[in-house]
Structure 1
C-alpha cells in the first residue's frame, strides 16, 4: 500500500495502465491509490513454492494463479499466465485470505510437518540427512496417490483403518514431546473426519475421537 501511494504521487499518468501485485493475501484494493489515478488494478498470485530466488521461468509451467481485480486487468493477467503455460483461478477479493491460508497449509505447514517427522526420527537415533532420505519416497508416493486418486482416496494409515491400538502406541511414544503430540492429535482428528466420510464404523470413530482428545 505504501508503494502504491508513493507511485500515485509520482506524477505519472496512470489512466488505463494495468498495475498488478503478486501477494497471495492482499486483494487488488491494496493498489487503491493507483486505481484512484485511473489505473486498472489486479492481484495475481502463483500457487507455487519458491525456495530459490534464481528459479527459472519454467517453474511456472502448469501452475495455477489466483487472480482478481478489474476485468481489463484480470484479462491482462490471464494473457501473462497463459504465456507461462499456467492456469487462471478467478477469485473474489473477500476470499483472498481464505485462499492464501489454504496455500500456506498445503505448502508451509507441509514442510513444518516433515521437519517434525525428521525430528522424531532423530530421537530414534537417525541422523537428519538419513531421516530426510528415508521419508522422501514416502512423501513422493503420497503425493502421487493424491494426484491419481484424489485427497480422500489417497489417505492411508491407522486412523483410516480404525486401528486404535496403533494410535494409542503412537500417542504413548509422543508422550514426552508435547508439541509433536499436539500436532498428531490435531491432524489425527482431521484424518478421522475423512475416515468417517469413507464409512469407518461410528463406534470406532467415537472411540478414536475420545483417544485423540475430541470428546
Structure 2
C-alpha cells in the first residue's frame, strides 16, 4: 500500500529516491509562498489542483476556535497557506520523514515556523489532540484502507463542531468516500466542486 507517482513512493516513512531539490513560488490564499520540494514527495513540481480546490473552500469555511491539522502535509503547502492567510496554529503531519523536513524548512522560509508544529504520524497514530479543522488530500493509491482511516478516524480527533475537509476526484472515489463519512458523521456534505474534484465536509456534532 504505497502510493507511486512517476515511480516514486511517497506514502512511506523513508523514500529512497535520489534527491532532486526544486524551488518554486506559488500563490495560495492571496500570499506568494516559496517552496522547496524533492523527489519522493507528492506533487513536487507544483501545488496540485486538488489541494488548491480544498484550500479555496477552507478559506470560506467557518469552524470553531482551535488548532488545525494538516494530515499528510507533504512539503507543507496546505498548513503553511492556512497559517499564513488565516493566522491559525497548525499541526502538520506525514508518515514521510523527507516531506516533514521540507515542510519545516518551508514553514520557516514563509514566516510561519512559530505557528506550526511538524511531526511524524502514520495517519492518526501519533496524534493525541483534537482539532477545530482537519484538512486532507488522501493518497488514493495508498489503498482504500488508508483513505478510509484518514476519513473516518477524523471524528475521534475533532472538537465539538469541528470539521473535516477532504478533497477527492469523483472518478477516484469521492462518492464512496462520502458514504464512508456518512457511516460515522451525521452531517456530511459536498462543500465544493471544481473540474471533477469534490471537497467533502463532515461536521462533528
What TM-score comes out, normalization by structure 2 length?
0.27
Q: Comparing both structures, which one devotes a greater share of its residues to helix?
A: 1
In terms of fraction of residues, the more strand-rich structure is: 2
